[in-house]
Structure 1
Amino acid sequence: MTRMLIAIAFAAGMAAAASAQQSSQTATANFIGKDGKETGRATLTAAQKGVLIEMEVSDLPKDTWVAFHVHEAGRCDAAGGHESAGKHFAGPDENVEHGFLAAHGPHAGDMPNQYVGADGVLRTQVFNSFVSLDDKGTAIRGRALMIHARSDDNRSQPAGDAGERLACAVIE
């Protein structure tokens, strides 16, 4: 009987540890549009060398490419045009430039443009190998995901001429 109780306690402890590890390996982010209403959700999963971001966001411009970035601050004030999210997350090296095509780029938070379908919904999976969920220097938990109105030209400083901020989500 004592062995069985110890085995049950051990199994419960292992399950709790696995659950804690799994929750530290994932994060969620709820997108808020310019009007302050929720427009979608992202699930972020830590990988050995980066983060997989899976998301669906609605109420976006139809049939167009939009920029997608990680921003520095974990704030999404729709009334202020999501400017509260700050600038793009550069990562541990503040001297890098914005854009995949920049001579001294990219920022850690730069990601490829995404296509919004005819229904105004963005459905995508993006892997960012420059960031982590929680590792010091590259951590994005507590920062914001941002969708901009135009595509990123991957060269212009400081933000790729991506235009207005349409949807913002704090990574929790």
Structure 2
Amino acid sequence: MKKYLFISLIVLAVVVACKSAMDSKSTVLKINLEAKSNSTVAGTATFSEKNGVVTFEAIMTGLTPGIHAIHIHEKSDCSSADGTSAGGHWNPLFKKHGKWGEAEYHKGDIGNFTADENGKGTISLKTDEWCIGCEDETKNILNKSIIVHANPDDFVTQPTGNAGGRVACSGIIR
């Protein structure tokens, strides 16, 4: 009897350890931004997911100084010279365009960031509204794209935020 109890405790410990390791699983996806619309924008966007929370960070150079918008768009296609092949903002819940976290907004409405006098800019966001490769298509960011815009998002104009041309693009793909 003691032998079976001991074996049962070992099996239970292995199951708990495996579940704990699965729960703390981390996924990281780093993509390079490609200049569009005759810009000189370059940089990277990194998405990492751990325990159901996605952390997004983009680091860019070659921007005009000032405020720029950045959004997730619906297609991972950056083949056109102006980035329009990426389609519109990713909006799986069919909401109005707006400011992230306030009233209505697209899941792709990340927001604005500022490029300094040298054209360098960064932005970061943490959310449980996205996932990397999960089965929930209202959260899954894979096979979408990141678009950096020439102008700021006004958070009002439908459906784009009047953010201007697309100066960088990258498919969110593995």
The verdict on a shared fold, with TM-score over 0.5 as the criterion, is yes
CA distance in 1, matches of 2:111, 2:127: 9
1:53 positional shift:
1.2
Does structure 1 retain, via aligned residues, the 8 Å contact 2:31–2:44? Answer: yes
The worse-fitting range, judged by mean Cα deviation, of 133-142 and 148-157 is 133-142
Which amino acid counterpart does residue 44 of structure 1 have in structure 2?
Answer: F
Q: Give the structure with higher Rg (CA).
A: 2
What are the ranges of 5 or more consecutive residues in structure 2 without an aligned counterpart? 1-17
Distance 1:129 1:68, change over 3 A: farther
Q: Secondary structure at the residue paired with 1:110?
A: coil
- Name the residue aligned to 2:11: none
Secondary structure at 2:132 match in 1: coil
Which structure 2 residues correspond to residues 5-16 of structure 1 after superposition, within 5 A?
Answer: none
Residue identity over aligned pairs, in percent, reads 27
Output the CA distance in 2 between the equivalents of 1:59 and 1:36: 8
Map of 1:13-162 to 2, 5 A cutoff? Answer: 22=26, 25-34=27-36, 35=38, 39-62=42-65, 64-79=66-81, 81-91=82-92, 93-94=93-94, 96-100=95-99, 105-135=104-134, 136-137=136-137, 138-162=139-163
- Give the alignment's TM-score, normalised by structure 1: 0.76
Cα displacement string for residues 69-112 of structure 1 (whole angstroms, at most 9, x for unaligned residues):
00000011242x00010000012x12x111128x9620011112
> How many aligned positions are there?
149
Residue 134 of structure 1: SS of its match in structure 2? Answer: coil
Give the counterpart letter for 1:109 in structure 2. G
Residue identity opposite 2:85 in structure 1? S
* 1:3 corresponding residue in structure 2: none
In the alignment, the residues of structure 1 paired with residue 105 and residue 163 of structure 2 have an alpha-carbon distance, to the nearest angstrom, of 15
Aligned to 1:113, the other structure's residue is in SS state strand
